[in-house]
Every structure is written in structure tokens, then in C-alpha cells.
Amino acid sequence: MNLTLFSGKDCHLCDVAKALIHELEQESAIELEIIDIKSNHDFYHLYAVRIPVLKRMDNQMELGWPFDLQQLREFIR
């Protein structure tokens, strides 16, 4: 499963989200791309007040913070 995490520098919640995703990587085949929203003007305007946001690349669904490990598991099913 290809996932994109929209994140930001010095974002504590983003670090927590990354840790949850990395925990799930041991259970599932996940390919994670991490994008700093400041690297793209459009991403910044879409996600600036919402990060971290996880996006499935197969169906474009998004999971916004807050989420826990169980919600993450359900999201990738």
C-alpha cells in the first residue's frame, strides 16, 4: 500500500504519526512517502492547519490527525 504523509518540520504531532505508521509497517506492506508541506505552495495551502494528514494513493482517501493505531489499521484495509 502506497501512503503519503503530509508533514512539517518541527511538527511534534507529525513525529507521533510517523511512529504509528512505522509500527504498522511491521504488520503490513506499506510504502511511505513523507512530504514537507512547505516544499509545495499547493500542499501548504491545503494542509497547513491540518498536518499530519495521511493519504492513500490508491483511492485518494485522507486520514487527518488525530488517529491511533486501530484507526490507522482500518484506514489501510
Q: What is the CATH number of the domain that holds 69?
A: 3.40.30.10
Question: What is the predicted pLDDT for the residue at 26?
Answer: 86
Question: What is the predicted pLDDT for the residue at 27?
Answer: 86
Domain that holds residue 12: 2-76
Confidence grade of residue 15 (pLDDT, cut at 50, 70, 90): very high
Number of structural domains, the chain?
1
Half-sphere exposure in the Cβ direction for 24 (13 Å, CA):
22
Q: What is the rounded distance in angstroms from the CA atom of residue 38 to the CA atom of residue 58?
A: 24
> pLDDT tens digit string along 21-72?
999 988 889 999 999 999 999 999 999 999 999 999 999 999 999 999 999 9
Q: How far is CA 15 from the centre of its chain?
A: 10
